[in-house]
Amino acid sequence: MQTTKYLNILLIWSLFFVIFIAMPTAFALQVEGLYQHRVLVASDSDAERNRAFREALRAVIVKVAGEYRWLDHPDIEAALANPERYIESISYSTDLVDRSLLGQVNNGLSRVETRYIEVSFANSLINDLLAESNIPVWDSNRPSILVWMVLQNSLGERTMLTPDINPEIIEYMQEFAEDRGIPIIFPVFDFEDRQNLSEDEIWTLVEQEIIKASARYGADSILSGRLHYTAGGDLVGLWQFLFQDEVLIFDGFEDNLESYLYLPLDRVVSQLARYFGIVPDAGIEETIMLRVEGVSDLKTYSALINYLSGLGLVRNVKNSFLDGERLELELGLVGNSSQLFEIIALDRDLMPIGGGAVDDLGILHYRWTR
């Protein structure tokens, strides 16, 4: 009797949370801001505002779909010609920026006030646009990339990539991470890191040592690179990307730093987007039972429902059974249980019980740990 009463209360609260909470609670690998973008504007004219709308929509398409190539799709080109139909809200803001960053001459004032427009697009409209165009949607629950890098100057001296020695490289990668909606993390390079991994081991891309040293960070993928500044000013190096027990090695050769950094980052992010991106109307639909242990109170229950509802793969969540701290839910998926398992594995809130595979009764079994 008590169980039935408690379940009825939970059903009411779950409906409240699903209706009134738009975004899931943020956690380490949940990327926010995928459907909004800030653009620098020179004036409040209609022409400048329309340019900003197009630029913002381009940026959002790249973040949500994961790859620049989708901008050449005819449906996306048509949408970019009329971006207003996808806008949910706009707002303006001002900021002080160094003139040098804007390519302006310092005429006595080192900083100038700049104006920005923040454009937010409707999630559902963007997702529908991509689905109708048969373009994958990359969920906001995204894999992290841990970056190890060693730099060698023309004298042959090698140093680890660190924020104090190479702030421009760290800053560029952080900007790239924000633009593409991907969590990029860096080692802290404390005593433990330096004991576990040397400059030479990164330089020679010793796979097992890099994996061992990376374990403490729990990253979903690892990008290791080496960069040699030649006497002639060229940048030459080699990259290694570790993901899902696969190893990808590729060269780097450029004459400027931004290009040298952009190409490997774009390559690995595109690979991750292809792996995790899902076309909602791809014809794959499945219903799966999810059993979750550790649902001890209403707050925990609400957090779980909120989390599951925020996964792009999950179309709907239905309560099925409650017994003490064990809850069973029926999930309607736009995809299959294997894709759901991989998306959940990207964070630490749901830990698989029994390996996480579907059991004989067709149930995925987890423990809620948040």
Same domain, 186 and 306: no
**Mean of the per-residue pLDDT values of the chain:** 84
Same domain, 153 and 252: yes
Number of domains making up the chain: 3
What pLDDT is recorded for position 31?
A: 87
State yes or no: pLDDT of 317 exceeds 70: yes
Q: Which residues of 43-69 are buried (b: 16+ CB within 10 A; e: fewer)?
A: eeeeeebeebbbbbbbbbbbbbbbbee
Domain boundary among 276, 298, 330: 276
Give a yes or no: residue 132 inside a domain.
no
Same domain, 173 and 270: yes
- Name the most confidently modeled range: 2-11, 91-100, 204-213: 204-213
Same domain, 258 and 173: yes
Give a yes or no: residue 133 inside a domain.
no
Domain boundary among 219, 241, 276: 276
Same domain, 183 and 223: yes
State yes or no: pLDDT of 53 exceeds 70: yes
Q: Is the dihedral of CA 98, 100, 102, 108 positive or negative?
A: positive
What pLDDT is recorded for position 19?
A: 27
Same domain, 226 and 261: yes
Same domain, 167 and 267: yes
State yes or no: pLDDT of 283 exceeds 60: no
Same domain, 268 and 222: yes
Residues 340-348, mean pLDDT to the nearest whole number: 78
Pairing of strands 145-152, 221-229: parallel
What is the Rg, in whole angstroms, of the alpha carbon atoms belonging to the chain? 23
Same domain, 270 and 161: yes
Q: Identify the H or E element spanning 194.
A: helix 191-196
Give a yes or no: residue 240 inside a domain.
yes
Of all residues in the chain, the percent with pLDDT exceeding 90 is 51
**Which of 12-21, 163-172, 266-275, 356-365 shows the lowest per-residue confidence on average (mean pLDDT)?**
12-21
Domain hosting residue 232, numbered range: 145-276
Same domain, 254 and 316: no
- Would you tell me how many other CB atoms lie within 10 Å of the CB of residue 137? 25
What pLDDT is recorded for position 24?
A: 30
Give a yes or no: residue 126 inside a domain.
no
Residues 157-173, mean pLDDT to the nearest whole number: 93
Place of tokens 């924000």: 178
What pLDDT is recorded for position 11?
A: 36
Task: Give the residue with greater pLDDT, 20 vs 159.
Answer: 159
Q: Which CATH number belongs to the domain containing residue 236 in this structure?
A: 3.30.160.100
Band of residue 206 on the pLDDT scale cut at 50, 70, 90: very high
State yes or no: pLDDT of 288 exceeds 80: yes
Same domain, 117 and 173: no
What pLDDT is recorded for position 1?
A: 42
Residues 213-218, mean pLDDT to the nearest whole number: 93
Domain boundary among 276, 292, 324: 276
Band of residue 348 on the pLDDT scale cut at 50, 70, 90: confident
Q: pLDDT tens digit string along 95-148?
A: 876 655 556 555 555 677 889 999 999 988 998 899 889 999 998 888 999 999
Q: Could you tell me the pTM of the whole model?
A: 0.77
Give a yes or no: residue 225 inside a domain.
yes
